[in-house]
Amino acid sequence: MVDVAVLISGSGTNLQALIDACADDDFPARIVLVISNNPGVKGLERAEKAGIPTKVLNHRGFDSREEYDDQIHEALKESGAKLICLAGFMRILDARFVNRWRNRMLNIHPSLLPSFKGLHTHERAIEAGVRYTGCTVHFVNPELDDGPIITQAVVAINPDEGADTLAARVLEKEHIIYPQALRLVAEGRVRVVGNKVTIRDAEYENLASVNPKP
């Protein structure tokens, strides 16, 4: 059983997906701590409801990013967590922190990386006119939204679709691939070589899709 800490800033629907996955007896990880940089967010309620210890570390009270990240590191060490899942944690972590947790910290991003790093991914995907977007779970590098990719899910963009409906459809996939990625990592099946992940005994679907239909 691998102990995991989840870092959040908001509503925590991905956290909920991880909590639900961990409720399964077969799941190889359990959440030992949820940290939020924002007080009073829904994600904290979700954790409390599941009986998971929570901690609010409000970044506004710290002089520097390094000082703040050190506090997070301390809290994580105390909790005994061996893996971190960033789940809508809207803070950039400094390189020293990231390097301490290299290949042990996962993030979920609502685009098919390396496309559309950063914010407003759905608006930008629609604006760019791409036919597909999706979501990515990856190990965190010091670069923003960068690092070895563990899992991705693809979502076709409908014509005239707005960013809100697209976001909701991508979010549904996020809730599938984040627990999946955590399971693979916790089972020790994921190996990072350079910037690439290999997964032991993974099954791959060779889906050739064309959008719009030929």
Residues forming the active site: 109
Q: Give the shortest CB-128-to-ligand GRF separation in angstroms.
A: 18
Q: Give the shortest CB-130-to-ligand GRF separation in angstroms.
A: 17
Q: Give the shortest CB-122-to-ligand GRF separation in angstroms.
A: 9
Instruction: Please identify the residue of the shown chain whose CB is closest to the bound ligand GRF.
Output: 88
Binding residues for ligand GRF (CB under 6 A): 10-15, 43, 87-88, 108-110, 171, 174
Indicate the residue type of 24.
D
What's the DSSP call for residue 95? H
- Residue with Cβ nearer ligand GRF (50 or 70): 50
Pairing of strands 2-8, 83-86: parallel
Q: Give the shortest CB-7-to-ligand GRF separation in angstroms.
A: 11
Q: Give the shortest CB-136-to-ligand GRF separation in angstroms.
A: 9
| Distance set, CA 11 to CA 21, 29, 41, 89, 90 (Å) | 18, 22, 6, 10, 12
**Dihedral sign from CA coordinates of 12, 13, 15, 19:** positive
- Residue with Cβ nearer ligand GRF (34 or 81): 34
- Residue with Cβ nearer ligand GRF (39 or 188): 39
- Residue with Cβ nearer ligand GRF (11 or 115): 11
Burial 139-162 (b: 16+ CB within 10 A, else e): bbbeeebbbbbbbbbebbbeeeee
Tokens 């799941």 found at: 27
Q: What are phi and psi of 207, to 5 degrees?
A: -90, 115
- Vertex 171 angle, CA 130 and 58, to 5°: 115
- Residue with Cβ nearer ligand GRF (109 or 183): 109
